Structure 1
């Protein structure tokens, strides 16, 4: 019985998948693969010899496919061959790609028809006159400048075994495809890495024509892609200078393809560590990120961080900011501002570094990954409860070490503000954070820093502009009453985190979180009594901290709660098959991606999505609603978000019948959704 249930589930999934494929085959032409593919065999082959197979690809207008090393984004084709024993498929051979710069990302692509050639070696004991069936399951990515769609195909062909004397000459199509491959260079090139610069020398005769060159490394880890490539001539050497990947060292050889002209001609070269001659006469290249694209992303990250100060997801911590603003109306405000900014930057950069590190080892996570972990939710719940107790005057904050120095409180406030605020994505920020997940580490960390500066910029302005400080109320007795009032939104934050604990881990996690929060508050009340008597309160405070960490550790070992079905608009849970079936139905589709910890998502759902007017408009137009819940980590949803340039939620996509996704703003209205439903073709 233990094996029957999984088998049944797999069988049902297979039936759903087959049904989805049949629906796709009968759907509108626009729902077919955006890159048409065909498997072809050049001709009969003699026993013990090699025949060439071709996967001929033809992108639709505005679409492109990818080289084996796609560059900063995308991926090449994957191959899963099925053939008899003794038949061996060799390494795929790709034609010379084209560089495609989209914003700050350099991609290696094909925008017109192309073919990937694969040599197939036939065993020597193959019988002449026999016909051998083979099949291929392939996956590839098709993209425009705005959207990417994973595609796949199943191909079948036959291999005819013939006598050597009966073999035909090569076909014209295969001759053209072979001509598009880079010509192999027998002589090796050289490279060296000096002060972060990658310098390469490729032996090319001084009389050879080189126009519009570009170098495509065959693998990651040596050269940054979206940076300028400077080309020059020094005798019979072509010198290339560009930026190396952070931490790269010259040691192993690497392969690359050099495009030598705009006609698609290229050379396949292997480069080994060695002395590289000095640069000579300059030659024009094609790859130039320029500072403008990166500058725009930095600006977008900064503006996105600034907007976070007024986004709904940051409202719970406005109490802390308000108190800091009031305290800043005195001498030394610039120290408070700098300390707060330092706290924000440390938190944002740390989150960014952890995110990039986890993605580098294969984890499919996105922005706000920390709130998908039960331990983080429990620690934040306990922290919110502790801050509420502090605002109510039960105890005074005890700051250890450097945090107790001047500005230490502002530093911790900045840490907390960034940690709670950054899970949300708002206008401008979504594109910047989406790009940060694909850029080189140095550029990504620059975007994270810009986001932090944007979040902290109001405090910096108040700290260094006296006129702004003078506009604030002067310190006085009102601050005590204000502090007690501000305990209310912080208590509401703790309640929201308790609800999130229930959503993430069910009743066991909720009980653990509430129990830990109550115990920590009891210890802090005890600390407050000791403080009022003039006694040391360090022991109960340290005990409270240890208890919070213990609760966080215990929560990490708990089983996640079962997914809950939302009432809402009778939405279908997101999956690629569900989305494909919905689009194949010919009805408009509204796909929205949310999370229980995303306040912006919940505000949009309450104010625009889960409304009677929206329901009525959707029912009249026959809109299919698909809901992706990203409260817990979901690699499938993460991939969908990345394909649409988003690093986190909310994300709203509208599919008109026969059209690709239209991404909607991150702040929705009933009118916006109703108008799209009313304008959808019947």
Structure 2
């Protein structure tokens, strides 16, 4: 009953919330539109579509993006029983970028889908929610997304966007009844023969768009001819072919004219002597045949966990533990119990987080270690939580004045649970801060059987908890602390500042994820939250004063949340700037292109929430001598920014045997595998790696 009540409440709230059909970024305007000339009725024409208007020179991608890019994806949440079909992709344009050829859309494009309405649909309105993700590119590429909502009255005809949907229908490739298409593998080419095409196409040179990626060499010229009404072509296969399909859909066009003709090719013959797909990566990865042994991986995990205690993101948690040591009159048993509970909290949290990661990866999600900090809402929640802790330590409010006494005294009545939850919090903020030993250990864990993988993560947690556990086992530590006095009040206030420093870091991470508008929105929430904490929890207020200040504070907080929510629901995407114009966005195609031109390639896999990444970026990677060495050797500098989820980067990290950042890969022009550098970089490491690669011609 409680679950039904909550569901009903959510539906009621949804019904009064305003629809959100438009998302604007710096590069596109995306709009959710609908077309239902007979209303929302079973068996009638009901369509939805994402209308994308691109800024000049910017483009998004077709279902097969070509040599680089990512297709737009639509994730629908609809009323019960209503189902959305696949995107009816309009015929794309050929988009050349140097030696690469991509397929996509410029100007304005509508991506329509058809809805299936069940026969028993009797609701007064159709509720629609959409999460859309797209990659928009010019010379650089930026992943963007948007959240849309719409409520369509069932009995009202929807014809406002009829012209747009009619135009989109006319741009979708059409199948020709009676047309026959066959293909066979002929060495390094796909020999295609098509008969039954429209007479208007006969004698015309045709463009060939394969709907399946990873098969053909998109930029290579297609040898073609017409013979007795049949189109005969040799389509070059990709040297990095990753698919070996038995059938493949393709589109033929004359120039960039729409709608094009859609074919289903039946492919015969073996694929280059093997039916096994090739590696999906443009270059083979370092050999996975000899991963570190389990004992060695456990040792690395233990050392990595120990070093986590030196990471700035863990300092606030250590501050809380130091405060717990400073409490007077504690018995040795209480200290030991607290140490064990803290250790259990850390180990269990690491294992649980790892189990979730392994389960999601097994389900097809492209995730890596530290994935929780790729969520802007999670980062914002952490910032709010640490702000409240800092305000509490600084004496702005007391929990006993805000919460019911039964809740406020939980930490004192259940100290073991308090220590364990502190360990959980430590894992939440520490897990992305990979140390120099953790990259190999975690990369190994994700390819081992589940039990062995979880054992590595448990050892990582044990390493992190070990210093505090050992301290709790040493009874002389408590005796060495000063006697209780004024210093404890000052020390508590001092410990507020590491909390605020962590909030600054989290705000910077959030700014990288959702832009300046989202950052300003969170700052407004934090100010309103601080006002509410002071109003409700100030130790100097009477009950009447708390009520007088608390009601306006609650209204301010509620209004701020209402104002700020759109920035989190549809964040603008910003790219990271480093002051070095020589850095470019990573793509697999860029690596291949640079090596073909005889240039070495250095890739920095980084994220805004990765403290080690930012340290390296401001030290070794900013060293003038290193930059000069890069320039002298004509090294192409690529940055793979993993601040937000990016399946392509996740796959590339997995290919390199890693599950998190930082990772530094250096490709020489002739080598087929990269040199992987240490996670904590020194200029000497970079100079040594550069000296070992072949010099450019």
Structures share a fold, TM > 0.5? yes
> Is 1:79 aligned to 2:245, yes or no?
yes
User: Equivalent residue for 2:350?
Assistant: 348
Within the candidate set 598, 609, 621, 1:586 is matched to 598
CA 1:365 to 1:555, structure 2 compared with 1: closer, same or farther past 3 Å?
Answer: farther
**Distance in 1 (alpha carbons) for counterparts of 2:321 and 2:577:** 36
Residue by residue, what CA displacement relative to the aligned partner does 1:61-81 show, whole Å, maximum 9, x if unpaired? xxxxxxxxxxxxxx9964354
**Distance in 2 (alpha carbons) for counterparts of 1:7 and 1:529:** 53
CA 1:623 to 1:606, structure 2 compared with 1: closer, same or farther past 3 Å?
Answer: same
Q: How does 1:239-638 map to 2 (within 5 A)?
A: 293-327=293-327, 330-331=330-331, 332-397=334-399, 403-404=411-412, 405-470=414-479, 475-530=484-539, 556-568=568-580, 570-638=582-650
**Distance in 2 (alpha carbons) for counterparts of 1:85 and 1:599:** 50
User: Equivalent residue for 1:122?
Assistant: none
**Distance in 2 (alpha carbons) for counterparts of 1:86 and 1:585:** 34
For the Cα contact (< 8 Å) 1:328–1:462, is it kept in 2? no
Q: What is the deviation of 1:580? A: 1.4
**Distance in 2 (alpha carbons) for counterparts of 1:339 and 1:536:** 39
Between Structure 1 and Structure 2, how many residues are aligned? 455
What SS does the corresponding residue of 2:295 show, helix, strand or coil?
A: helix
CA 1:439 to 1:8, structure 2 compared with 1: closer, same or farther past 3 Å?
Answer: closer
**Distance in 2 (alpha carbons) for counterparts of 1:294 and 1:588:** 34
Residue by residue, what CA displacement relative to the aligned partner does 1:144-182 show, whole Å, maximum 9, x if unpaired? 894479xxxxxxxxxxxxxxxxxxxxxxxxxxxxxxxxx
**Distance in 2 (alpha carbons) for counterparts of 1:585 and 1:11:** 20
Q: How does 1:27-176 map to 2 (within 5 A)?
A: 78-79=244-245, 81=247, 115-116=273-274, 146-147=286-287
TM-score normalised by length of structure 1: 0.58
CA 1:356 to 1:675, structure 2 compared with 1: closer, same or farther past 3 Å?
Answer: closer
**Distance in 1 (alpha carbons) for counterparts of 2:372 and 2:309:** 20
Q: What is the deviation of 1:604? A: 0.8
Structure 2: gaps of 5 or more residues: 1-50, 69-93, 102-184, 190-240, 250-262, 401-406
What SS does the corresponding residue of 1:632 show, helix, strand or coil?
A: coil
**Distance in 1 (alpha carbons) for counterparts of 2:518 and 2:568:** 10
What SS does the corresponding residue of 1:116 show, helix, strand or coil?
A: coil
CA 1:310 to 1:11, structure 2 compared with 1: closer, same or farther past 3 Å?
Answer: closer
**Distance in 2 (alpha carbons) for counterparts of 1:369 and 1:356:** 12
**Distance in 1 (alpha carbons) for counterparts of 2:431 and 2:657:** 17
User: Equivalent residue for 2:226?
Assistant: none
**Distance in 2 (alpha carbons) for counterparts of 1:550 and 1:342:** 39
**Distance in 2 (alpha carbons) for counterparts of 1:499 and 1:393:** 26
User: Equivalent residue for 2:683?
Assistant: 670
For the Cα contact (< 8 Å) 2:391–2:397, is it kept in 1? yes
**Distance in 2 (alpha carbons) for counterparts of 1:422 and 1:488:** 22
CA 1:293 to 1:88, structure 2 compared with 1: closer, same or farther past 3 Å?
Answer: same
For the Cα contact (< 8 Å) 1:391–1:487, is it kept in 2? yes
Residue by residue, what CA displacement relative to the aligned partner does 1:246-287 show, whole Å, maximum 9, x if unpaired? xxxxxxxxxxxxxxxxxxxxxxxxxxxxxxxxxxxxxxxxxx
Q: What is the deviation of 1:461? A: 0.9
Q: What is the deviation of 1:503? A: 1.6
Q: What is the deviation of 1:551? A: 9.6
User: Equivalent residue for 2:176?
Assistant: none
Q: What is the deviation of 1:598? A: 0.9
Structure 1: gaps of 5 or more residues: 22-36, 42-74, 94-113, 119-136, 150-225, 227-288
Aligned residues: CA RMSD:
4.4
CA 1:530 to 1:550, structure 2 compared with 1: closer, same or farther past 3 Å?
Answer: farther
For the Cα contact (< 8 Å) 2:389–2:499, is it kept in 1? yes
**Distance in 1 (alpha carbons) for counterparts of 2:302 and 2:692:** 36
What SS does the corresponding residue of 1:489 show, helix, strand or coil?
A: helix
Within the candidate set 619, 638, 649, 2:661 is matched to 649
